[in-house]
């Protein structure tokens, strides 16, 4: 049975159970004739032998009656919205919906969007002690929140806590429906892009001391949390791993971050700082929270390229703008410190990064311009066995005489290949490459 079909069968049983519980709550709450009215007499379906991912999640977290009721309630707007229509029942005395039912109305969604109040009504009715028990399900330490299964969307300050909307995380929703792993894509609400590469470590040319530093990050990705536990450091050391990559453009900072993710089989997300930073008070923090909240339990690598824009030095100014900028940096510092995964900041200059961040990095790795031998390896990687090279090209001379970063070198090769193609040749000549070098030098304000 495929994952989608298995999930559908399992959720059909869960929805039927929910409907029985909701009907019993209504009958008991409004004292309709008949009974009994105890919702617990409707036990949730047995999932001990259920092969679905939904059932697997129920077993994994050992969900009890209340937790399963809250979970299916939160899933219903996505899988069976009409199952909540009973909660649209109007109070004839006030000619509006019952306050105790909770629920929001969406902008486009015609059905009810459940709140914590909705869950409290179904599970507790008007039993105040039970209502207080239900509150524990929405605590930050509960696995619903800790494991990024559910999230709460609060109304403005001052409104009751239980008025928060109940939402399921996209990753968990996909797991329990289609069975596919959710990969968030770039959007206004998620200003980050997953980056990948077809290259491998043999294509990356770095100095030995840089590679040694990279090995520490590799080890952490393979099991850093377990290492901290074995050395009894887990209670003293902040979770996660934070590293600063700094050095001239084109020296391999982005490629290194991408290869780290590829080697550890984890996703690498490059944060778009142009969409993060906002001139409006509170918006930068909100945008950053969207990224960190989604990444919290995903084991992602978060890569902040050109991080100076967001993690620059704090000022001593007393203007409101300076104070707001300093508050943003303090918030970012706190989120990065608490993030359990890997955070990599990339900058051209280490001195541009606020000292408070630098002190909290596990490593600060300098990516220099490659030396002559490293440049020769880069040229040879691009033209293995001199493939597509004319006889007049001397790679040793090119590497020795032209100081280029890896990124600039690739620009040279791209230009040379396009020039040869335009002239109908199948090999790149010395002149093609030297012209490309000259163009790169002009871009950088240098002369050949």
Q: How do the domains of the chain map onto residue ranges?
A: 3-176, 192-366, 372-443
Give the CATH fold of the 192-366 domain.
Rossmann fold (3.40.50)
Q: Residue 339: pLDDT above 80?
A: yes
Q: State the DSSP H helix or E strand holding residue 442, giving kind and residue range, or none if neither.
A: helix 430-443
Tell me the two tokens of residue 397. Answer: 């001379």
- pTM for the model: 0.72
Answer whether 192-366 and 372-443 agree in fold: no
> What is the structure's pLDDT at 11?
97
Instruction: Report the pLDDT averaged over residues 49-75.
Output: 96
Q: Tell me, what DSSP letter sits at residue 389?
A: B
Average pLDDT, the chain: 87
216-256 pLDDT per residue, tens: 999 888 887 787 788 877 777 777 899 999 999 999 999 99
- Give the Cα separation of 283 and 28 in Å (integer): 46
Give the CATH fold of the 372-443 domain.
Helicase, Ruva Protein; domain 3 (1.10.8)
Q: Tell me, what DSSP letter sits at residue 249?
A: T
Angle, in degrees to the nearest 10, between helices 253-264 and 208-230: 40
CB neighbour list of residue 392: distance below 8 Å, 6 or more residues apart:
429, 430
- The pLDDT-based confidence of 298 (bands split at 50, 70, 90) is confident
Q: Residue 196: pLDDT above 60?
A: yes
Q: Would you say how long the chain is, in residues?
A: 448
Q: State the DSSP H helix or E strand holding residue 321, giving kind and residue range, or none if neither.
A: helix 320-338
Going from the C-alpha of 405 to that of each of 252, 266, 297, the distances in angstroms are 9, 27, 36
């Amino acid at each position: 049975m495929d994952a989608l079909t298995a999930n559908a069968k399992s959720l059909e049983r869960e929805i039927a159970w929910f409907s029985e519980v909701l009907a019993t709550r209504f009958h008991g709450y409004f004292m309709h004739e008949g009974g009994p009215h105890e919702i617990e007499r409707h036990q949730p379906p047995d999932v001990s032998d259920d092969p679905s991912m939904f059932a697997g999640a129920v077993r994994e977290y050992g969900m009890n009656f209340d937790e399963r009721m809250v979970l299916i309630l939160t899933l219903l707007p996505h899988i069976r919205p009409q199952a909540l229509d009973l909660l649209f029942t109007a109070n004839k005395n006030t000619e509006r919906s019952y306050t105790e039912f909770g629920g929001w109305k969406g902008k486009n969604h015609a059905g009810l969007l459940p709140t914590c109040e909705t869950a409290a009504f179904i599970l507790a009715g008007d039993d105040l002690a039970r209502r207080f028990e239900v509150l524990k399900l929405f605590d930050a330490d509960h696995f619903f929140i800790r494991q990024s299964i559910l999230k709460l969307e609060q109304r403005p300050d001052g409104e009751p806590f239980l008025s928060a909307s109940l939402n399921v995380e996209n990753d968990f929703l996909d797991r329990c429906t289609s069975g596919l792993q959710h990969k968030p894509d770039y959007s206004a609400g998620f200003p980050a892009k997953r980056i990948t590469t077809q290259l491998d470590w043999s294509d990356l040319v770095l100095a030995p001391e840089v590679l040694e530093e990279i090995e520490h990050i590799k080890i952490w990705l393979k099991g850093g949390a377990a290492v901290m536990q074995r050395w009894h450091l887990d209670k003293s050391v902040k979770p996660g791993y934070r590293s600063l990559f700094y050095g001239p453009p084109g020296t391999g900072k982005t490629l290194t971050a991408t290869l780290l993710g590829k080697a550890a089989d984890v996703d690498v997300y490059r944060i778009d700082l142009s969409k993060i930073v906002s001139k409006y008070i509170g918006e930068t923090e909100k945008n950053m929270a969207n990224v960190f909240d989604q990444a919290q339990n995903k084991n992602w690598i978060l890569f902040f390229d050109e991080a100076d824009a967001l993690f620059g030095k704090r000022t001593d100014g007393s203007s409101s703008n300076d104070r707001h900028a300093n508050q943003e940096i303090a918030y970012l510092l706190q989120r990065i410190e608490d993030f359990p995964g890997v955070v990599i900041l990339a900058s051209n200059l280490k001195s541009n990064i606020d000292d408070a961040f630098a002190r909290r990095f596990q490593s600060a790795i300098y990516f220099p311009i490659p030396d002559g031998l490293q440049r020769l390896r880069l040229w040879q990687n691009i033209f293995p066995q001199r493939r597509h090279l004319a006889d007049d090209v001397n790679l040793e001379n090119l590497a020795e005489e032209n100081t280029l970063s890896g990124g600039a070198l690739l620009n040279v090769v791209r230009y040379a290949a396009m020039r040869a193609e335009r002239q109908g040749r199948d090999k790149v000549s010395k002149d093609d490459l030297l012209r490309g070098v000259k163009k790169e030098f002009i871009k950088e304000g240098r002369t050949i």
